[in-house]
Amino acid sequence: MTLIKSEDLIASIADALQFMSYYHPVDFIQALGKAYEIEQSPAAKDAIAQILANSRMCAEGKRPICQDTGIVVVFMEVGTEVRWEPNTDIEELVNEGVRRAYGLPGNPLRASIVSDPAGQRRNTFDNTPAVTHIRLVPGDKVAIRISAKGGGSENKAQLGMLNPSDSVVDWVLSRVEEMGAGWCPPGVLGIGIGGTAEKAMLLAKEALLDGIDMPTLKEQGPKNHIEALRIEIYDKVNALGIGAQGLGGLTTVLDVKIQDYPTHAASLPVAVIPNCAATRHVHFILDGSGPAILEPPRLADWPQVDWSPDPQARQIDLSTVSREEVETWRPGETLLLTGKLLTGRDAAHRRIAELLEQGKPLPAELDFTNRFIYYVGPVDPINDEPVGPAGPTTATRMDKFTDTMLAQTGLLGMIGKAERGEEAVKAIQRHRSVYLIAVGGAAYLVAKSIKSARVLAFPELGMEAVYEFEVKDMPVTVAVDSSGNSIHKSGPSHWRRIKLR
Ligand code: SF4
């Protein structure tokens, strides 16, 4: 029997979470480098360059790749010949590892988990609990695959209970089209086929932990129908033209991973879960000899892609920008913002909307007149940082507040990521406003343009408080202009190469 010490499991979980917060998996970053080389859409190429440059900066600076440092998901295979210390609660040991990792003073990670999800949604402030799946297997070791899954990509998970005669390819393509860009492509699709509803979802999630090997698979050719299906879905998803950040381009997915399982004769469960630009997972084995030792990647493994602001980009002074100036901006145009903007995301919007609905005044500091709001929940700063990594969050979640904000607060424009819904686009057009996007998955790079930060309102909301950021040359792209034209519609339709059957 192998004894696994509690401290070895806790330390290994904590180390793995810290490791993945700043090191992309090397196969992912190299596949992204290849995507950069072949990309022809200028907007998508620029977005990939930002993600690659951000990745290298994070590996060097040991700071999180993305401000959303994820919900922790653990798949643990425990050998039946393994023994634990008395009264061990394995899930609690995993949670202790999460607590230790997310609270590490040298690289604090963002606590994103809320309890009472259908009620008060209170932040647990240590990112616990993890979602832990434990399986007993023959052997005397413990094999662990651990990931930190971003909310934007997890929100796009889909389950279909298809008829056995339905096409899996057609279903996946229709789901990916509906996903939009909130999952921060380019990334990887995990697909689970068969079993039952919950089994298909687990297969899809586990498939995301497999290595990226699509170039090899395409070169060598498929050896079975699952490999053929992977290639077909990969080619057809990329032919949709969604591209990096949904801006339109050649690469939406770097790989398609599939796991399958026998199912009922009447059923065809299919699950698809995307992994985003901040793909993060680490695998290790505990054999009783101590905590896992993780080998850092070599910086030489990163593609040689630098990014700096486009000198041709339009410079915008946020202290003087007017509605008339905003009306001259066009979708796809790159802007560099300098000046002060406010932040706010889900919880702050809910508070503001409630106050407005009740006819109550907003906190005195909250004056949105002619200002821009940035949808963001930053990581806490360290040392002399004004703010930690601070990339955009999915704007679609703020759609239901958009008309109220534009009509009642004097807000001029918004900055986030991904497409806006129809109602939000209409509100933008009606109020002659604008919606800009920053690159999801480039949070540390974006944070470098933030020169100061102070909390203005709702400090009790933690990372969801309203801040005022002072920015210098913050790179953004016009996504919806004041006439309601959207880059998320025109971009993909330009780069699309197939029609759905
Ligand atoms: S890259 Fe996008 S989806 Fe992924 S964790 Fe960051 S914000 Fe969320």
Give the amino acid at 466.
Answer: V
DSSP 486: B
What is residue 95's three-state secondary structure?
helix
Burial grade of 439 (CB within 10 A; 0-12, 13-18, 19 or more): buried
Gap between the Cα atoms of 427 and 461, Å rounded? 27
Other CB atoms closer than 10 Å to residue 308's CB: what's the count? Answer: 9
Tell me what pLDDT residue 311 has: 87
Distance 308 CA to ligand 1 centre (A): 21
Q: Is the CB of 278 under 6 A from ligand 1?
A: yes
> For every one of its 501 residues, what pLDDT tens digit does the chain have, with 9 covering 90 and above?
999 999 999 999 999 999 999 999 999 999 999 999 999 999 999 999 999 999 999 999 999 999 999 999 999 999 999 999 999 999 999 999 999 999 999 999 999 999 999 999 999 999 999 999 999 999 999 999 999 999 999 999 999 999 999 999 999 999 999 999 999 999 999 999 999 999 999 999 999 999 999 999 999 999 999 999 999 999 999 999 999 999 999 999 999 999 999 999 999 999 999 999 999 999 999 999 999 999 999 999 999 999 998 888 999 999 999 999 999 999 999 999 999 999 999 999 999 999 999 999 999 999 999 999 999 999 999 999 999 999 999 999 999 999 999 999 999 999 999 999 999 999 999 999 999 999 999 999 999 999 999 999 999 998 899 999 999 999 999 999 999 999 999 999 999 975 443
> Can you state the angle between helices 6-22 and 90-102, rounded to 10 degrees?
40
What tokens were used for 386? 């004004």
Cis peptide bond upstream of 129, omega within 30: yes
| 182 in contact with ligand 1, CB cutoff 6 A | no
274 lines ligand 1 (CB under 6 A): no
Q: What is the pLDDT of residue 500?
A: 44
Q: Is 277 in the pocket of ligand 1 (CB under 6 A)?
A: yes
3-state secondary structure of 83: strand
pLDDT at 498: 58
Contact 209, 145 (CB under 8 A): yes
Residue 81 corresponds to which tokens in the numbers above?
A: 């010949």
Assign 372 to helix, strand or coil.
strand
The pair of structure tokens assigned to 191 is 């697909």
Report CA(72)–ligand 1 centroid distance (Å): 14
Q: Please work out whether the CB of residue 183 comes within 6 Å of at least one atom of ligand 1.
A: yes
Distance 417 CA to ligand 1 centre (A): 10
Q: Which of 17, 184, 419 has most ligand 1 atoms within 8 Å of CB, for mutation? A: 184
Q: Which residues contact 425 (CB under 8 A, 6 or more apart)?
A: 480, 484, 486
Atom index in ligand 1 nearest the CA of residue 182 equals: 3
- Residue 310, pLDDT score: 87
Is residue 414 within 8 Å of residue 438, measured between CB atoms? no
Pocket test for ligand 1, best of 20, 28, 66 (most atoms within 8 A of CB): 66
130: buried, middle or exposed (CB in 10 Å: 19+, 13-18, 0-12)?
buried
Q: Is the CB of 150 under 6 A from ligand 1?
A: yes
* Backbone φ and ψ of 8, nearest 5°: -65, -40
Q: Is 331 left (phi over 0), alpha (psi -120 to 50) or beta?
A: beta
| Ligand 1 atom 1 nearest Cα | 441
3-state secondary structure 283-312: EEEECCCCCCCCCCCCHHHCCCCCCCCCCC
DSSP 137-188: ESSS-EEEEEEEE-HHHHTT-EEEEE-TTS-HHHHHHHHHHHHTTTT-SSEE
Q: Ligand 1 in contact with 441 (CB < 6 A)?
A: yes
**Residue 373 contacts residue 324 (beta carbons within 8 Å):** no
pLDDT given at position 462: 87
For residue 304, CA distances in Å to 15, 32, 300, 301 come to: 27, 12, 8, 9
**252 Cα–ligand 1 center, Å:** 15
Q: Are 462 and 396 in contact (CB under 8 A)?
A: no
Nearest CA to ligand 1 atom 5: 150
**What's this model's pTM, rounded to 2 decimal places?**
0.95
Classify residue 470 by burial, with Cβ atoms within 10 Å: 0-12, 13-18, 19+.
middle
Predicted local confidence at residue 499, as pLDDT: 46
Q: Ligand 1: does its nearest atom lie under 6 Å from the Cβ of 276?
A: yes
